[in-house]
Chains A and B, each alone.
Chain A
Amino acid sequence: DIQMTQSPSSLSASVGDRVTITCRASQSISSYLNWYQQKPGKAPKLLIYAASSLQSGVPSRFSGSGSGTDFTLTISSLQPEDFATYYCQQSYSSLRTFGQGTKLEIK
């Protein structure tokens, strides 16, 4: 199975900060990488698909990049509603896998 590793596991930041979360795959997955945001008690929400495509309705401060094994999610200017947990997920393999998550907290 393809293992997905996110870093950091948790992150403290302030409103207005630029934040980057990294996701690494255990083998090349081309651009078959998606990002989700989850708030407590809620279902996850798709942010980015195919490594860099912004899902409809998602603010443009979110962006994704990378290919092969290394990927990043960037939030250009943190807003109060962005404090949540973020997950990467690969769909290169029919056996989908998620990263362990990155919890973004208010500093």
Chain B
Amino acid sequence: EVQLVESGGGLVQPGGSLRLSCAASGFIFSSYWMGWVRQAPGKGLEWVANIQQGGTEKFHVDSVKGRFTISRDNAKNSLYLQMNSLRAEDTAVYYCVRERYSGNYYFDSWGQGTLVTVSS
């Protein structure tokens, strides 16, 4: 069974940093694109970043470029999101997602989410 378990969320002051982790199990982690999707309270889904299987190719939404960095450790079956210079508008539940390819990329597995609150 595919499992994605996020950790590392919490309360942080504006301008602070946080590192989210996602522990993956039940599949060959190194064979999949992985990513992060967030959802601000009462709002819709926003794609944040994704990373190719080997970690050399990665993409970030414009609103986090230069502040957030996605990375992975295939030996540890883990995905990370380093978040720096946090702003109030980064407050959201952050979901770890697996991207599957079958003629098209899609998010077929989601973690339970971890809440990040940016507030003084």
Contacts and interface: CB of A to CB of B under 8 A. Distances in A.
Interface stretch (B21-29, B69-77, B80-88, B99-107): B99-107
Contacts of B35: 96
B117 to A, nearest CB: 17
Nearest to B35: A96
B106 A46 contact: yes
B104 A43 contact: no
Per DSSP, chain B at the interface is strand
A72 interface: no
Contact of B112 (A31, A43, A46, A91): A43
B104 A55 contact: no
Contacts of B108: 46, 49, 55
B115 to A, nearest CB: 12
Contacts of A91: 99, 104-106
Interface residues of A, number: 28
Contact of A87 (B45, B50, B99, B113): B45
Contacts of A96: 35, 47, 50, 105
A95 B65 CA distance: 12
Interface string A52-92: 01010000000000000000000000000000010101010
A101 B112 contact: no
B45 A50 contact: no
Interface of B: 35, 37, 44-47, 50, 59, 61-62, 95, 99, 102-108, 110-113
